[in-house]
Amino acid sequence: MLVTIKDIAKAAGVSHTTVSRALRGHPAISTETTRHIQQLAEQMGYVPSAVAQSLNSRQTFTIGMVVTTIADPFVPLVAEGIEKVAQEAGYSVFLMTSYNDPEREMTVVETLQRRRVDAIIVTASRVGSLYGEQLERIQVPIVLINNQENGEFLHSIAVDDVQGAKLATEHLLALGHRRIGYVGLLTRPKSNAHRLLGYQAALQKADIPQDPNLIFLPPPDDDFRCGELALSLHLKHQATAILCYNDITAIGLLNTCQQNQIAVPQALSIIGFDDIEAAQYVSPPLTTFRQPRLQMGELAMQMILDLLNKKSVEDQLLPGELIIRGSTVQIYPEQ
Amino acid sequence: MLVTIKDIAKAAGVSHTTVSRALRGHPAISTETTRHIQQLAEQMGYVPSAVAQSLNSRQTFTIGMVVTTIADPFVPLVAEGIEKVAQEAGYSVFLMTSYNDPEREMTVVETLQRRRVDAIIVTASRVGSLYGEQLERIQVPIVLINNQENGEFLHSIAVDDVQGAKLATEHLLALGHRRIGYVGLLTRPKSNAHRLLGYQAALQKADIPQDPNLIFLPPPDDDFRCGELALSLHLKHQATAILCYNDITAIGLLNTCQQNQIAVPQALSIIGFDDIEAAQYVSPPLTTFRQPRLQMGELAMQMILDLLNKKSVEDQLLPGELIIRGSTVQIYPEQ
DNA sequence: TGCCGTAAAACACACGTGTGCATAAATGAT
DNA sequence: ATCATTTATGCACACGTGTGTTTTACGGCA
C-alpha cells in the first residue's frame, strides 16, 4: 500500500492536518516540525495523490488533447509543443483520438467530461465543430488548432491559409508560370476554401485569367491518391505548375510523375503545404509552405494557461513560411 | 457547478446512496425508483466524476505512455495502437515525453506516481532501463516496447532485430552482393548490437569473410547525419550495398548519394530498418525491414490489460517483415 | 396480536487531501 | 499574578462516490 499523510502523521505523532501543512510549507507550522515531517515524508517515499488533491481542489491539472489520429504527419509536432508547455506548467495531457468516427467522438467528449479535464485542445478534427454544444456544456476553456468550421464561442489558433496559398502561387508566378493548377481536398472544407482563395487572389493580382479546368477537387479519398489523380491537370490541361492542398497530396503527385516519366521540376513544378518531415526527403525535395507546428502547439497550450488564469486571449492567425526547395523551377521559355 | 449524485438525490427525494445504487443497477433498488433516478440523471446532464471514483476504488483506469518524443517517426503509430486498445477497454492515456533528458525523466516518473496511473508503457526510451528501481517502486505493471537494456522484472515487446538484420543481409546476398556494409548507431546500444549480430550471422552463413572496414559506427549524432557519413563505406571501402540501422539513416545516405551523383540502386544498394512512412515516398523507394508498429502498440496495451487482470503474460519477440522496394537491386556482374 | 422474513432505503464510514475555526500552550504586557 | 496576544496544533468538515450494515416498513403466518 502507498504512503499517505496519515501514515506520516502516525509516524511523527501529529495530526494529518499538520503533515499536510508542513509539506506545503504553511507558516503556522514550526520550522522544526516542518523539517522533521518533510524528512520523514522523504524517507517513507511519500508521493501525494493527485487524485485526492483533484477531488478536493476541483482542479485536475489535466488537459485533453483531441486529435483525429496521432499518425497524421501534421499532428505529432503539434502534440510535442502542447505536451512540453503543459509539462512545464505542471499539467498532464490525455491523448484522445477520434478518427472522425461519430461514435468515438461521442466517447471522447464524454470521457473528457468524466475525467474533469481543466481544458481541451482540439487539433485538426471535426470534434470542435460538430460537438460544439456538448463541448460548451463542459464549461472548460477550449482551443482549436487548424480546425474546420470554428464555432464563435471557441478560441482558435490557425495558420494563415489564404496568405500561404497566395505566397506559394506568387512564387510560381515569379518563376514565369502562367498555367498553374490547384488540387484541393473536400475533406477539409474550410482550409481548402481559404487556400483556394489565396491561389485565386494571387492570380487575379497578376492579371492572369482564371481557368476553371485548372482547379481540381477530386472526390473524397486518401490524400495521397488525390495527388495521383491531379496529374490530369498537367496532361489534359497543360498546367506547368501545381499547388497541392498538402504535402501528402504533393508527394502523391510527385510519385505519379516519376512513374509516368514526367520530370519534376523540369516539366512540372510542384508545391506542397505543411512542410511535413517527408517533404525534405523526397526527390526532388519539395517546395512547400511551412506551418509552424511546434509553435502552434506551444501557443495553444499557452493560450489555455492564460484562459485558466482568467487572462484575456486573442485568436491567432499565424504567418507560416514558404520553403523553397527543388520541386519548383523557372519555367523553360520554349514551353 | 456540475451535477453530483447528491443533487439528483435531492431532486428525487432520496439519499445519495440510493442514487449511486440506482445508477449502477443495484438489485436492492426497486425497478421504479431506478428508472426514475436514471431518467432524472439524464435530464440533469449528470456525468460521474472519474476523480471521485478513482479515489474510492483506488483505480484510475489511466495508463502512462512514456516516449522519448512523439515526433520520432517510429512512435506515432505505436501510440495509436496503444490508445485504440486502451480506449476500447475504458482506459485513458497520459502522453509523457522524456527527451532522453535526465531531469525530465525524473519528472515523468514522479508524475506517473502522483497521478496514480494503473500501468505504464515505455516506448523506445531510456526511462525503462535507467529508472528501473523508481519504476518498480510504483508497484504497477510496466511494459517496455523496443527498449534498450530491459531489466529482468519488466515485461517487454520487441521486434526481432537479429532476424530482421539477417533477412535484410540475406536479401542483399541473394542479389549477388559480397561487399555489404553496416551503419550502426551507438545511441541505441541494444538493438544496434542485435542488428549487427544478424548482419554478421548472415555473412558467416554465406561464408563471406568479414571486413571490419565495412562496419561503420559513427560518433553519436543525428540519425540522418550518420547516414550521410556512411557514404565512406562505398567510396573508401567499395561497399556495393549498405544496411542501415534505421530508415532515417538510410534516407540520409540516400540523400548524400544523390548529391554526389551516385546512382541508387545501380551503383549502391541501400536497405533501411523500420519502414517509416517516408520510406515509401523517397526515390527510389526504400527497401526496408518493417516493424509492425501499430500491432506492437496494440499488443503492449493488451498485455497491460492481461497483467491488470492477473493473467500471466509472456514477453513477445515479433517477427517483422522485409519490404522490398527500389533501393536494392541485383549487382551488376561487371562490377 | 405478535413474530419473522423480506424488500427498500438510509446511515455511517471510507478513499486522501486541504482549510476554517477552535483550542491549547507559550509568550509578553501590565 | 492575570489577562491579552501570539504561536502551534488538532478538530471537524468538505470534495464525490461506493459499500457494509442498520433501520424502516410491510406483508404473511401462526
pLDDT at B132: 67
Same fold: A59-160+293-319 with A161-291: yes
Query: Which DSSP category does B216 fall into?
Result: E
pLDDT at A131: 66
Distance B182 CA to C19 C1' (A): 65
**What would the pLDDT profile of B244-274 be if each residue is shown by its tens digit?**
999 999 999 999 998 899 998 999 999 999 9
pLDDT at B150: 63
- CA terminus-to-terminus distance, chain B: 78
Separation in Å, CA B247 to CA B244, B271, B276: 7, 8, 7
**What would the pLDDT profile of B197-212 be if each residue is shown by its tens digit?**
999 999 999 999 999 9
Burial B106-115 (b: 16+ CB within 10 A, else e): ebbbebbbbb
Q: Is B16 on the interface with A (CB under 8 A)?
A: no
Who contacts B133 (Cβ-Cβ below 8 Å, separation ≥6)? none
Q: Which three cell numbers stand for residue B90?
A: 475504458
pLDDT at A335: 44
Q: Which residues pair with A289 in a beta bridge?
A: A273, A322
pLDDT at B254: 95
Strand D-proximal residues, CB under 7 Å? A 13-15, 17-18, 21, 28-31, 33, 52, 55-56, 58; B 1-2, 4-6, 16-17, 20-21, 23-24, 46, 48-49, 51-53, 55-57
pLDDT at A85: 98
pLDDT at B100: 84
Best probe of the A interface among B51, B135, B295, by most A CBs < 10 A, is B51
Cis, peptide link before residue B292, omega less than 30° from 0:
no
Q: Which three cell numbers stand for residue B312?
A: 500471466
Residues within 8 A of B (CB atoms), A 66-85 only: 69-71, 73, 75-77, 79-80, 83-84
Residues within 8 A of B (CB atoms), A 182-221 only: none
CB-neighbour burial class of residue A151 (10 A; exposed 0-12, middle 13-18, buried 19+): middle
Please tell me the CATH code under which domain A59-160+293-319 is placed: 3.40.50.2300
pLDDT at A105: 87
- CA terminus-to-terminus distance, chain A: 78
In B37-195, which ranges are E strands?
A: 62-67, 92-97, 119-123, 142-145, 155-159, 180-183
Please tell me the CATH code under which domain B5-48 is placed: 1.10.260.40
Treating both helix axes as pointing N-terminal to C-terminal, what angle do A50-57 and B102-115 enclose, rounded to 10 degrees?
60
Separation in Å, CA B24 to CA A61, A106, B4, B21: 28, 21, 15, 5
- Residue that the C-alpha cell 517510429 belongs to: B74
**What would the pLDDT profile of A281-309 be if each residue is shown by its tens digit?**
888 999 999 999 999 999 999 999 999 99
* The total number of residues written for chain B in this structure: 335
> Helix (H, G, I), strand (E, B), or coil: what is residue B330?
coil
pLDDT at A101: 86
User: Are the C-beta atoms of residues B272 and B282 closer than 8 Å to each other?
Assistant: no
Nearest to A127 by CA among A141, A145, A152, A114: A145
Separation in Å, CA B32 to CA B44, B123, B312: 18, 50, 43
Burial A54-73 (b: 16+ CB within 10 A, else e): bbeeeebbbbbbbbbbbbbb
The alpha-carbon gap from B95 to the nearest alpha carbon of chain A, in Å, equals 6
Domain ranges for chain A, please list them: 5-48, 59-160+293-319, 161-291
Best probe of the A interface among B70, B106, B253, by most A CBs < 10 A, is B70
**What would the pLDDT profile of B85-102 be if each residue is shown by its tens digit?**
999 999 999 999 999 888
Please tell me the CATH code under which domain A161-291 is placed: 3.40.50.2300
User: Are the C-beta atoms of residues A266 and A335 closer than 8 Å to each other?
Assistant: no
| A308 backbone dihedrals φ, ψ, rounded to 5° | -70, -25
The CA distance from B249 to B272, in Å, is: 7
Nearest CA in chain B to A62: B94
Cβ of B83 and A97 within 8 Å? yes
Q: What is the largest CA-CA distance in chain B?
A: 93
- Out of A19-33, A69-83, B118-132, B153-167, pick the least confident: B118-132
Cβ of A87 and B95 within 8 Å? no
**What would the pLDDT profile of B273-312 be if each residue is shown by its tens digit?**
999 999 998 889 999 999 999 999 999 999 999 999 999 9
Q: Give the sign of the dihedral formed by CA A258, CA A263, CA A267, CA A272.
A: positive
Q: Which residues of chain A have pLDDT under 50?
A: 335
Distance B56 CA to C5 C1' (A): 33
The CA distance from B70 to B80, in Å, is: 11
Task: Give the whole-number percent of chain B exceeding pLDDT 70.
Answer: 95
Who contacts B181 (Cβ-Cβ below 8 Å, separation ≥6)? B214, B215, B216, B230, B233, B234, B237, B239, B241, B242, B243
pLDDT at A102: 84
For residue B129, is pLDDT > 80? no
The CA distance from B19 to B14, in Å, is: 7
pLDDT at B335: 44
Cis, peptide link before residue A284, omega less than 30° from 0:
yes
The alpha-carbon gap from A77 to the nearest alpha carbon of chain B, in Å, equals 5
